Amino acid sequence: MREFDAIFIGAGQAGPFLAARMASKGRRVALIERKYLGGTCVNAGCMPTKTLVASARTAHVARRAAEYGVQIGGDISVEMNTVRARAVKVTMDAREGLRTWFEALETMSVIHGEARFQDAHTITVGHEKMTAPQIFINVGARPSIPDYPGLADVPYLTSTSIIQLDTLPRHLIVIGGSYIGLEFGQMYRRFGARVTVIERSPRLASREDEDISDAIADIMRAEGIAIHTGATGLSFRATGGDIEVATDGGVIVGSHILVATGRRPNTDDLGLETAGVKMDERGYIVVDDRLSTNVEGIWALGDCNGRGAFTHTSYNDFEIVAANLLDGADRKLSDRIPAYALYIDPPLGRVGMTERQARASGRPILVSTRPMSRVGRAVEKGETQGFMKIVADADTRQILGAAILGIEGDEAIHGIIDAMNAKTPYPALQWSVPIHPTVSELVPTLIADLKQLS
């Protein structure tokens, strides 16, 4: 039995950073990873996918070069081997950086293998046993595959396996019209594939307000992407070298299928029931406001706790636990204001409540919108799709939420994120003097146009 001060299961974007902090203080820690250091973000999420998005955008801008007075001889083509190699290099460089960092920490042991609870404070990896008074679970999530008729009998891609493609699909059918599906759909359309998106909900990105969803659909359709919403009765059948996708609305034939219908936590093979750790009906580990499970001495961080599905929320889980355990603070999950981005192009930056959520809260709200066609930066760059929206509380004058769907929206949203975290009343932003010409310079104008809804 090996004894440690702390054991970390999973090397994603939360546990390893806490492990490294503890190791830097001389504590003996074990970091167990069954596959690759870095978790989803480094290996199958943000880093490789946003690298692919950058390649796709480059192709898109090149095709529009004549609009800017730039002449490029011949057709624009994409070399998928090079595209994939570039994404692989970004991943491998990040993974190697983590390996080098961890090897330099004298009291950290990196153990590769499958971890399983034997009891609440004993972990087995193969035939090896180890124990610690503190155990941190950071095992992440994986693509969830629905039980559609015939799907198991046809070849399909997930958000993990599609990254490995080094050829261009003739016709990519994306099952799922939410964030992952939309990003890959636009990406592969820009690479040159025909793309169809099938979504069972009435609209794309159904978490968003209806006007945001409609604008996203307009952006996708403008690039030649076929969209089928409200699709029911899906079934799949291989036919020759293609795949037939049947819905109640007809049959669509494609060369490749991407299943992008959500994710599920990697908690089903950890032996959590042996440790007495409580999970919800979807398999997410139940945690309190400080990320503790129901078992003393066990915490769950990152995607596997269902309290955030992003790299930045996972990293914030690390920050909360590190502050509370190592710095004498009392930080809580409930203090976190949700924020995220959808990396289609132009991107969507989002923070806080949607307008729909604010209305449902029953409070008096103010709303303002402004088309990106009124933003100088967007006009100058020739990218005026989308709009900006802000929602505020009429009584407290606090910003409740905002959305910027448009060029650089994922960056411009941060001024509002910062204001919300600082609890700055919106009039203070109205009288700021932002730099011209930027997307952020429209925020004071947006705030000035706030109007109360009936």
Residue 180, annotated as binding a ligand = yes
Residue 50, annotated as binding a ligand = yes
Whose CA is closest to 91, among 60, 51, 151, 63? Answer: 51
Residue 249, annotated as binding a ligand = no
**Tokens (6 digits) for 59:** 């192709």
| Spatial contact of 7 and 135, defined as CB atoms under 8 Å apart | yes
Distances (CA, A) of 61 to 225, 381, 404: 17, 11, 21
Residue 123, annotated as binding a ligand = no
Residue 408, annotated as binding a ligand = no
Residue 292, annotated as binding a ligand = no
Residue 192, annotated as binding a ligand = no
Residue 177, annotated as binding a ligand = yes
Residue 451, annotated as binding a ligand = no
Question: Within 10 Å of residue 82's Cβ, how many Cβ atoms?
Answer: 11
Residue 179, annotated as binding a ligand = yes
3-state secondary structure the chain: CEECCEEEECCCCCHHHHHHHHHHCCCCEEEEECCCCCHHHHHCCHHHHHHHHHHHHHHHHHHCHHHHCCCCCCCCCCCHHHHHHHHHHHHHHHHHHHHHHHHCCCCEEEEECCEEEEECCEEEECCEEEECCEEEECCCEEECCCCCCCHHHCCCECCCHHHHCCCCCCEEEEECCCHHHHHHHHHHHHHCCEEEEECCCCCCCCCCCHHHHHHHHHHHHHCCCEEECCCCCCEEEEECCEEEEEECCEEEEECEEEECCCEEECCCCCCHHHHCCCECCCCCECCCCCCECCCCCEEECHHHHCCCCCHHHHHHHHHHHHHHHHCCCCCCHHHCCCEEEECCCCCEEEEECCHHHHHHCCCCEEEEEEEHHHCHHHHHHCCCCCEEEEEEECCCCCEEEEEEECCCHHHHHHHHHHHHHCCCCHHHHHCCCCCCCCCHHHHHHHHHCCEECC
**Tokens (6 digits) for 61:** 């801008």
Annotation says 256 is catalytic: no
Angle (nearest 5°) at CA 70 between 386 and 78:
75
Residue 185, annotated as binding a ligand = no
Selected catalytic residue, list 60, 121, 228, 436: 436
Residue 405, annotated as binding a ligand = no
- Binding site membership for NAD(+): which residues? 176-183, 199, 262
- Binding site membership for FAD: which residues? 50, 303
Catalytic residues: 436
- Binding site membership: which residues? 50, 176-183, 199, 262, 303
